[in-house]
Amino acid sequence: MGEQQHVKFPQEVIDEYAALGVDLGALFSAGHLGTRMGVQILEASAERVVGTMPVEGNTQPYGLLHGGASAVLAETLGSVGSMLHGGAAKIAVGVDLNCTHHRGARSGLVTGVATPVHRGRSTATYEIVISDEAGKRVCTARLTCLLRDTGPKDAEQAAGAAES
């Protein structure tokens, strides 16, 4: 999955997943789509997830950052936060994503910061602010994830993700 050597996780989270034999870097990566788009997760906890994505390679025909690329970054960061909130016994599944695009970006990196709006037992909602290198807001997104109990199939997939 994605290159995640530099992700900062809280120690208690590392310990929880290590006890299950799960590699956090693989499990909480950007996945195959995020990897193709250059998404990098820099910091991850239930309280804050930070990631970047290059504009280059993720543009629409006018040379601006594609709105769908912003949505991929937002959903990735919000999902990671939701998964960390839910813990090893839950899996986060996105059920609603909305994005408001404020300005275009033509080059450089955009940075997304996901912070919780609501963290409950069955759902988690995160606001994701995506900014350009000048610190100007490019997009504001909100993601709600359903937190469901993990089943045997989920555990097999998580183990497989850790091996990829």
- In the prediction, which pLDDT does 146 show? 98
Q: Measured between alpha carbons, how far is 3 from 20 in angstroms, rounded to an integer?
A: 21
pLDDT tens, the chain, 164 aa long:
344 446 777 788 778 777 777 676 666 666 788 889 999 999 999 999 999 999 999 999 999 999 999 999 999 999 999 999 999 889 999 999 999 999 999 999 999 999 999 999 999 999 999 999 999 999 999 999 999 998 777 656 655 555 55
Among candidate residues 3, 56, 75, 163, the one labeled active-site is 75
DSSP state of 32: H
- In the prediction, which pLDDT does 151 show? 75
- In the prediction, which pLDDT does 95 show? 98
- Are 58 and 33 in contact by the 8 Å Cβ rule? The answer is no
* Residues 70, 71, 75: CA angle, nearest 5 degrees: 120
From 163, 161, 156, select the one nearest 31 (Cα to Cα). Answer: 161
Strand bridging mode 137-149 / 49-54: unpaired
pTM, to two decimals = 0.85
- In the prediction, which pLDDT does 155 show? 56
Decide if 47 is catalytic. no
Look up residue 86 and give its amino acid: G
Please provide the size of the chain in residues.
Answer: 164
- In the prediction, which pLDDT does 2 show? 40
